[in-house]
Amino acid sequence: MNSLELFAGVGGLALGLHQAGFEPKALIEWNKDACRSIVAYGAANWNVIQADARSVKFSDFKPVHLVSGGPPCQPFSLGGKHKAFNDKRDMFPEAVRAVKDLQPQAFVFENVKGLLRETFRPYFSYILLQLAHPELEAKDGEDWICHNKRLSEHHSGALISGLDYDVSFSLLNAADYGVPQMRNRVMIIGFRKDLGIKWSFPEPTHSKEKLAYAKHVDGSYWDEHGISGKETPTLHGQLELPQQSKERWRTVRDALSGLPDPQSGNIYVVPNHEYRIGAKEYPGHSGSVLDQPSKTIKAGVHGVPGGENMIALDDGTKRYYTVRESARIQTFPDDFVFQGSWTECMHQIGNAVPVKLAYVIGKAIAEKLENAGAGKT
């Protein structure tokens, strides 16, 4: 099955979807360094197009089974200015246009938790309705509120015809799917109605409780890392063994295992692993501890991206994550070499979808399409 990705960033979503069986016809991204990073990785000689999505004629790529992407999130980010539909950076209209023009069998779009803010709820509902009925476009001079009313009336009508999608969304924590990071993201999934597909989001595969048991009851976490005396199991008999079907949350220590200390002078064995000075702790920016999932890797809006993109070491000192460490937290492969300055690389990583989370979602979508006999045309 093939796909077209918009707002591809540095390709985290595309990599995961590719691992799940989707072959991208093209990745569209306006950021030059992000495009350079994808090209340098040489991902199956993908067709990487550096362009503003608003200038792209999507119909040139038909037929496409899956449309994917992460529409720029600044209008909705908790760290941004929260302008939503008044923000010219809102690219959801382009996502809707791509669905309308390409008529894919499915789509998946990712965005930040801020999209679900109470103040944005009416506009988020409007986004979902547009994706459900992409051919019912706004009329000339019609504002979004009036368009939303027409969409709502159409959606609640007894007869729905034309290009329509069953759309679902969920707020997922990447840590629950094996990503060593607390990263809450909204996933929006749609299947073309004529396929008759019933969708449910994949159940979490990893748990906080299983990590707590491994650390505080049977001590298996410390054994895995060859650490003795780090923490004597103290809750034996107080915590029950969580359900066996789930694995434990992955931690920063898990993610960084095998990497040399960036201050050791051995850094050039691993790409993007240069030590960066200047990390400072201040309220709300205290760094991630080694034996929990990382705090969210952030792209940053002003200055140094994500002042809390730091790690708290065993000796109590704090330092910035290296680019490679941040990439591991986001589950990128070690041979993915990021292009650009440290700030730009961290920006790329902070904006990315964790590869492993993208794989989990992509695999579930692929299975639904295959079971429905889709993906062939």
Q: Which two tokens stand for residue 187?
A: 């996933």
Of the candidates 301, 312, 308, 339, the residue with the CA atom closest to the CA atom of residue 323: 339
In the block, tokens 């961290």 appear at: 346
Whether cis (ω within 30° of 0) applies to the bond prior to 63 is yes
Query: Which uninterrupted H or E stretch holds 17?
Result: helix 12-19
146: annotated active-site residue: no
Judge contact between 172 and 191, C-beta under 8 A: no
Q: In what order do the strands lie in the sheet with 310-312?
A: 288-289, 310-312, 318-320
Bridge partners (DSSP) of residue 210 are none
The DSSP string of 157-183 is SS---SS-EEEEEEEEEGGGGT-SB--
Judge contact between 316 and 274, C-beta under 8 A: no
Query: Which uninterrupted H or E stretch holds 250?
Result: none
Bridge partners (DSSP) of residue 4 are 26, 67
Q: How many CB atoms lie within 10 A of CB 240?
A: 9
Catalytic residue among 35, 73, 146, 345: 73
Q: Which residues are catalytic?
A: 73
